[in-house]
Amino acid sequence: MMVGPNGNESSATYFILIGLPGLEEAQFWLAFPLCSLYLIAVLGNLTIIYVVRAEHSLHEPMYIFLCMLSGIDILISTSSMPKMLAIFWFNSTTIQFDACLLQMFAIHSLSGMESTVLLAMAFDRYVAICHPLRHATVLTLPRVTKIGVAAVVRGAALMAPLPVFIKQLPFCRSNILSHSYCLHQDVMKLACDDIQVNVIYGLIVIISAIGLDSLLISFSYLLILKTVLGLTREAQAKAFGTCVSHVCAVFIFYVPFIGLSMVHRFSKRRDSLLPVILANIYLLVPPVLNPIVYGVKTKEIRQRILRLFHMATHASEP
């Protein structure tokens, strides 16, 4: 972003990402655990995708949706972590305006896709538990594929106006962003014009995507709970066991997102460290924890991952 010498409005050309406000001296060393977490996220999600793809017995809706979730987690962490590590290690704080828009679009649209996939996974659990005889006919492979395509289209379509709205804003204030990557809430606060349209647009997206999805997920689990309570204890334990991983994934995704949205909505200080930490948790923790949760809690995946490591260990022996 370029600011005129007299404080006049000017077009944006670049932004400055400061990383972690107040922790500039420690950023170099903090990058090492962050890089480790990023590698764990990528390797963990690639392992999930490989195991599901290699095992024909896992070619079921629940596991196909899990592969979609893993793919999105890889993309969403990769959209921010390389630049974040460049900031921490090489002090590469500058990001061009168009690159910032692209990163912003990718992060927000992928978040919408992940929310849609989590909703689809909740629907899968609802049909499997409440209408088990219809599960195979309702969630066929072509229908699951269409749901995946719909998730991508929905996420991209909801965020398509975002770059247009940002490009229409005049910038004449500081070019320093308070996060380690470009966020809509952060960028629009630098504008020197009325941002009411951007605020309303952001609320509409949150309500129509995240709000609606979380509401439908909650409703599906109320129906599941009603059905499960009428089963025997053994059947209850089995039914709850198939839902634990998904419930964990839902909380892992939505809690940081809601926390970040609330902090941005009500926080007055742009130099606060809390929203920056929440933003980093929001993009890095779900991709790290999701494969761990599903690997530990899902028996079929756990067995096949252990078998994979067992085969790799024997192959490396002389």
Condensed to tens digits (0 to 9), the pLDDT of residues 241-279 reads 888 889 999 999 998 888 887 876 666 665 567 788 888
Minimal CA–CA distance to 66: which of 231, 246, 317, 261? 246
pLDDT at residue 239, rounded to an integer = 81
CB within 8 Å of 82: residues ≥ 6 apart: none
Q: For residue 209, what is the DSSP state? A: I
Does a structural domain hold residue 318?
A: no
Q: Which residue has the higher pLDDT, 220 or 22?
A: 220
Does a structural domain hold residue 241?
A: yes
Instruction: For residue range 77-119, list pLDDT tens digits in order.
Output: 999 999 999 999 998 889 999 999 999 999 999 999 999 999 9
Does a structural domain hold residue 269?
A: yes
CB within 8 Å of 301: residues ≥ 6 apart: 48, 51, 52, 58, 63, 294, 295
**Confidence check: pLDDT of 6 > 50:** no
Does a structural domain hold residue 307?
A: yes
Token pair recorded at residue 265: 């909505």
| Region class of 2: left (phi > 0), else alpha (psi between -120 and 50), else beta | beta
pLDDT at residue 124, rounded to an integer = 95
Q: What share of the chain is helix, strand, coil (3-state, %, to 5)?
A: 75, 5, 20
Does a structural domain hold residue 1?
A: no
Minimal CA–CA distance to 114: which of 262, 265, 259, 290? 290
Longest dimension (CA), the chain: 75
Distance CA 301, CA 52 (A): 8
**Confidence check: pLDDT of 37 > 90:** yes
CATH number at residue 241: 1.20.1070.10
Does a structural domain hold residue 26?
A: yes
pTM for the predicted model, two decimal places = 0.90
Q: How confident is the model at residue 233 (pLDDT cuts 50, 70, 90)?
A: confident
Range name among 75-84, 96-105, 163-172, 296-305 with the lowest pLDDT average: 296-305
For the chain, how many structural domains are there in total?
1
Give me the chain's average pLDDT, please.
Answer: 86
What percent of the chain has a predicted confidence (pLDDT) above 70? Answer: 91
Helix H segments across 160-211? 161-167, 184-188, 196-205
Structure-token match 């400061």, residue found: 18
Does a structural domain hold residue 3?
A: no
Q: What's the domain range around 117?
A: 12-312
Q: For residue 191, what is the DSSP state? A: B
